[in-house]
Structure 1
Amino acid sequence: MLDAKALTKAVCNVVVAVTGLPANKVIIGDNGIDAPTGSYCAVRLQNPEQWGQALNSQTNVQALDDPQYEDIIARVATQFTLGFSINFYRAGAVMYAAALCEANKREPVKTILRAAKLGWSRVSPINNLTGLYQAAMEERAQLTLYLYGESIAEDRIQRIYRAGFTVETEQSGAVAQGEVNGLSG
């Protein structure tokens, strides 16, 4: 399952590493707290989109109920493209946004992404949203950072090793009984 908060914090760490903004000036967007004073950045995960095909695998493991049997662990890794809206406010907003372009080539960013198990896709064009705010011009910039990630789900499947059966014919009513045993070869 995707952990939106952990993913957003990883992107906040990328923004801190690239822009030089202090960590307390790079916040998770829409969190209901007041905006920091001075220049700051708000990061928000947009709708994740499925990308590619899920990677399916199965592994045999010892059964929980009887060690002579085996269960199957079925693993499905769903791949996603994750879009993060990154908004910079106040002095230097456009400069900070531009710093994210090609940031995936920088070693600190590679380290942060690797630790979060994320891959870099691309950065959208920068939107310069500078405008009049409370009777003064306030610099603002927005871009979307696209990353690759995956969500892994595992399910335990118990194998059926023995099944009994009874068969009855319609015409004669003859009955046959038996057992299928997967351990008998």
Structure 2
Amino acid sequence: MTDIELYKLLRPAVKTASGVPMVIQAVQNAPAPGGSYATIHVRTDIGERGMAFKDRKLLPDNETFEHTIRSQQEVTCTVEFYRARAKEYAANMLQLDKRDDIYWPLYKAGLCIMATGKVLDLTALQSDQYEERARVDIYLRMEVSRKYNINRIMEVTGTVQNEDGDDLQSVTVKA
């Protein structure tokens, strides 16, 4: 799942749960919108849970193995709220994993909400006035698959040498 796909899944969830009028993707180097809004910064932290699953299958060419590594990732996504009611919008995100209208669409897409972090007050001085800001993290668990191919070994040759380096015998085994 790409960062854009993850953002597109989280955007309606954040908007529904928080009640904020506008949600945009974070870190896009664009002017801030007017009024209250939230930004979603996906994958601010990525960890893993346990060991990955590894599968392999022989492809129809009968020479190539396709390996799939499926890792269980724990991903943090940061939601920041700006301007009026920022802390209230952030507090509405708490216990996000208990809302059926949010949990099931994400689960269907392969995401599991583990928890939400505490609300952090990030209120700051902006242009000689205080601007209310708040932040809350969403902790997700997801499976990420990576594939790669390796050709089968079709032939192996082994050679036995004496201590002087002279070949004594050579054998080739073909699959």
> Shift in Å at residue 108 of structure 1?
2.4
The residue type equivalent to 1:125 in the other structure is K
User: Following superposition of structure 1 onto structure 2, how do residues 84-103 of structure 1 map, counting pairs within 5 Å?
Assistant: 84-103=77-96
Instruction: Indicate the structure (1 or 2) with the bigger Cα radius of gyration.
Output: 1
Is residue 122 of structure 1 aligned with residue 115 of structure 2? yes
Separation in 2 of the partners of 1:37 and 1:172?
A: 80
Cα contact 1:165–1:179 (8 A) shared by 2: yes
User: Which residue number corresponds to residue 17 of structure 1?
Assistant: 16
Is residue 143 of structure 1 aligned with residue 136 of structure 2? yes
Separation in 1 of the partners of 2:60 and 2:162?
A: 37
Assess, with a 3 A threshold, how the Cα gap between structure 1 residues 146 and 170 changes in structure 2: closer, same or farther: same
Cα contact 1:122–1:147 (8 A) shared by 2: yes
| Superposition TM-score, scaled by structure 2 size | 0.82
> Shift in Å at residue 117 of structure 1?
1.8
RMSD between superposed Cα atoms in Å: 2.6
> Shift in Å at residue 131 of structure 1?
4.8
Assess, with a 3 A threshold, how the Cα gap between structure 1 residues 171 and 178 changes in structure 2: closer, same or farther: same
The share of aligned pairs that are identical, in percent, is 25
Cα contact 2:3–2:42 (8 A) shared by 1: yes
Structure 1 gaps, min length 5? none
Assess, with a 3 A threshold, how the Cα gap between structure 1 residues 110 and 153 changes in structure 2: closer, same or farther: same
Assess, with a 3 A threshold, how the Cα gap between structure 1 residues 176 and 63 changes in structure 2: closer, same or farther: farther
User: Which residue number corresponds to residue 40 of structure 1?
Assistant: 37
> Shift in Å at residue 70 of structure 1?
5.2
Assess, with a 3 A threshold, how the Cα gap between structure 1 residues 169 and 96 changes in structure 2: closer, same or farther: same
* Paired residue secondary structure (1:14): helix
> Shift in Å at residue 5 of structure 1?
2.6
Is residue 60 of structure 1 aligned with residue 53 of structure 2? no
* Paired residue secondary structure (1:54): coil
Is residue 6 of structure 1 aligned with residue 2 of structure 2? no
Separation in 1 of the partners of 2:92 and 2:98?
A: 12
- CA offsets per residue over residues 75-127 of structure 1, 9 Å max, x none? 21223221222111122212211111112121221233124422112111111
Structure 2 gaps, min length 5? none
The residue type equivalent to 1:126 in the other structure is V
Separation in 2 of the partners of 1:177 and 1:135?
A: 84
Is residue 109 of structure 1 aligned with residue 102 of structure 2? yes
Cα contact 1:7–1:116 (8 A) shared by 2: no
